[in-house]
Amino acid sequence: MGHKNCAVLDGGLAKWRMEKHPTTASPHAKLQGSFSPAPKLDLLRTRSDMLQCIESGTVQVLDARSPSRFAGLEQEPRPGVKPGHIPGSHNVYYADLINDDGTMRSANELRAVFDKARIELSRPIVTTCGSGITAAIVFLAAKIAGASQISLYDGSWAEWGSMQYASIETGPARA
């Protein structure tokens, strides 16, 4: 949305509390000034963009869902959404990018995960998932690993898998 001074709490609130950092139950928001949203639309992809990505084959589509959902072996949690994945996409399961304590793996470990999935970090990447949430984890991991041309398909599988005439693949990720 155009925020310039943002950060990710690596490990989340659970790790913050475990490390005994201060928290409070009372709100401390101080509203002052004004904020005018300025979305960075170059970081987002639409359904139309995704159709072009598939047709051109120049963009690597990384799906953050579990291998079984990616393969179409599980029913999708949303009614009317077919199982499977976007044609030509790669499965990079978001949980493989996170340590047991909820922190992001190191840059070297992340590069190894992307290498194993045959992702070229120097080429354009679009991340996707079920609804656009865990795609952000893959987006961040790719950034940490050294990718610079990254965007996110916010409609993700909830949109793609519900389209009547969408091209869909099933089966495991390609080796």
How far apart are the C-alpha atoms of 89 and 105, rounded to whole Å? 23
The continuous run of DSSP H or E covering 153 comes out as strand 150-153
Mean residue pLDDT across the chain:
90
Q: Tens of pLDDT along 14-42?
A: 899 989 998 888 876 666 777 788 878 88
Structure confidence at residue 159 (pLDDT): 93
Identify whether 54 is part of a domain: yes
**Torsion angles phi and psi, residue 86, rounded to 5:** -65, 130
- For residue 89, give every residue at least 6 positions away whose Cβ sits within 8 Å of its Cβ, in sequence order, or none: 61, 62, 63, 70, 128, 169
Identify whether 65 is part of a domain: yes
Identify whether 106 is part of a domain: yes
The continuous run of DSSP H or E covering 125 comes out as strand 125-128
CB atoms within 10 A of CB 77: 10
Identify whether 71 is part of a domain: yes
Identify whether 141 is part of a domain: yes
pLDDT at 146 over 90: yes
Identify whether 29 is part of a domain: no
5 pLDDT band, cuts 50/70/90, is confident
Structure confidence at residue 41 (pLDDT): 80
**Within a 13 Å sphere around the CA of 69, how many CA atoms are in the beta-carbon half?**
18
Cβ atoms of 60 and 125 closer than 8 Å: yes
**Residues with a known catalytic role:** 129
103: CATH: 3.40.250.10
Range of the domain at 50: 40-160
What is the total count of domains within the chain?
Answer: 1
Identify whether 57 is part of a domain: yes
Structure confidence at residue 171 (pLDDT): 84
Identify whether 123 is part of a domain: yes
Structure confidence at residue 49 (pLDDT): 92
